[in-house]
Structure formats: C-alpha cells, structure tokens
Amino acid sequence: MTTINKKKMTSFRTYLEELFPVAHFQLDYTHDYELVIVVMLSAQTTDKSVNLVTPTLFGRFPTLKALKEAPIKDIEEAIKTIGLYRNKARHIKNIATIIDEEFNGVVPSESELLMRLPGVGNKTRNVIQAELFNIPSFAVDTHVMRISKRLGFAKEKNQPDQIEMILKGLMKPQFYNKVNHQMIMFGRNICLARSPKCQICKMKNDCLYFLKNQK
C-alpha cells in the first residue's frame, strides 16, 4: 500500500504543481512574533477573517511590549469578529509576555520552546517552523485532513498527528512545505468540504469520495 500511495502522491504533487505553481503562506504579518499570533488566531476560523482583524490589532498594539501590557478587553475589541476571540485575546497577551520576557523578544525555532506558547499545538508549531525557519514541516489542517482521507493516503480514523507522519513518509522532506501550501489551496479551490469540484479534478479516479458517490 505504501508503494501505491507513494506513486499516487507523486502524481498528486505533479497535479498540484500544475494547479498552484506558486503556493505560499496566506496570513499577513510583518514581525516574527506576529506570525505566531496570526497562526494561533486562525484556529477554527478563516485566514480571510484573521487578515481583516490584524491591521487593527497590530496597528493599535505595534510592539511586543504594547501587546503584553494591553488590557484584555482592548485586545478582545480588536479581534471580536473571529471565533473564540476571548480565549485568543488571552493567548495573545500571554504569547507576547513569554516571547518578550522569556525568549528575549525572539521567536524560537525549537519545538519544545514553541509548544510552551499558549494556543500553539502541533499544527501551529509546524507552520511557524516552516514559515520562519524553513524547517521541513507538515501542518495538517482541515483541508489537508479531508484531502488525505478522500485520496486514501489516510484512514477515516486517523488523527492529524498520524496523518502528518503518513504524508511525510510519502515524499522527501524538501517537498513538505510547498506541498503543504498546495494541498491547502487545493482544498479551498477544488476539493471543497461541500460540493467538491470532482468533475474537473484529475485525481477523481483515485478518490475514494468520488468513487463512492458514483455508485
């Protein structure tokens, strides 16, 4: 099965390259610490929603010091249009405090240090390492999870950390970061959660979802 899936992944990567030759990070940020915050904010909401609130957030609190000293209510006000904004406001303040006071204002590259930041789990850590440090990583979001299961790379019962390891085993590390972005774009534009565009997808004959719904 692994050999079959490796061949399928090679075909899929070729198709992704055809569709999205330029694939990159979609969230807006200027400073490294802002990246940590925007990725944390993107949990359970869209990148578009995050990009709408961050100009206000970072405009009102333009430094780590300003963020760590900001009243929670003011941070909540700046991001209130996104999901879970109250919890995320606390995370922002605590992230800024830890980076400023414990990490000397520098976002670390080490996994164990990144995971100490509030709201930073495996997915967020992988995004930070890939974007800031070009460390080969694979962040499994809802798009990547859906596509992996539909194409048979992963099983329905597989969790994100399991899917991450499966996908990493199907390609060389130098492909991780770009393919990760390409799969997310594929999920947003072709392999939609509802009403996927199967008829125009070149992977449909390898897709469990398409084959099941053809019966």
The residues carrying an active-site annotation are 123, 141
Burial class (CB in 10 A: 0-12, 13-18, 19+), 60: middle
CA distance 169 to 191: 22
CA distance 14 to 123: 25
CA distance 23 to 182: 6
CA-CA-CA-CA torsion sign (140, 146, 152, 158)? positive
Residue whose token pair is 């330029």: 22
CA distance 159 to 205: 25
